[in-house]
């Protein structure tokens, strides 16, 4: 999986490409750790090229959501494909995240 982070004045855009499976989760967690530290900003996960997400990937996104919300900011998942959105629906995570 490839993760790219771009920081702007008011938000952070995280582009995820490939599969956020168990093997990729460790690297993804380390890559995403800096965006939840500090004062915080709104975070947008660009998921257009995200092909798969495992439970370990859901856990990482939930951790980012909790830390970001605690600082008064929001997390948005953008361009999520129907298969991944179905995973969010089945797990109940659909109610926790904002989708665009």
pLDDT in tens, 63-90: 999 999 999 999 999 999 999 999 999 9
Portion of the chain with pLDDT greater than 90, in percent: 92
- What's the chain's average pLDDT? 94
Q: How far is CA 23 from CA 13, 60, 98, in A?
A: 23, 13, 26
pLDDT at 39: 81
Please tell me the pTM assigned to this model: 0.93
Query: What CA–CA distance (Å, rounded) separates 46 from 6?
Result: 11
pLDDT at 10: 87
- Judge residue 93's burial from the number of C-beta atoms within 10 Å of its C-beta, 0-12 exposed, 13-18 middle, 19 or more buried: middle
Contact 58, 80 (CB under 8 A): no
């Amino acid at each position: 999986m490839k993760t790219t982070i771009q920081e702007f004045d008011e938000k952070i855009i995280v582009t995820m490409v490939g599969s956020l499976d168990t093997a990729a989760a460790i690297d993804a967690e380390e890559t995403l750790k800096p965006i939840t530290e500090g004062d915080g900003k709104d975070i947008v996960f660009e998921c257009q090229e995200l092909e798969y997400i495992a439970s370990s990937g859901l856990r990482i996104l939930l951790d980012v959501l909790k830390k970001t919300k605690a600082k008064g900011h929001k997390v948005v998942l953008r361009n999520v494909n129907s298969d991944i959105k179905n995973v969010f629906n089945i797990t109940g995570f659909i109610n926790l995240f904002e989708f665009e």
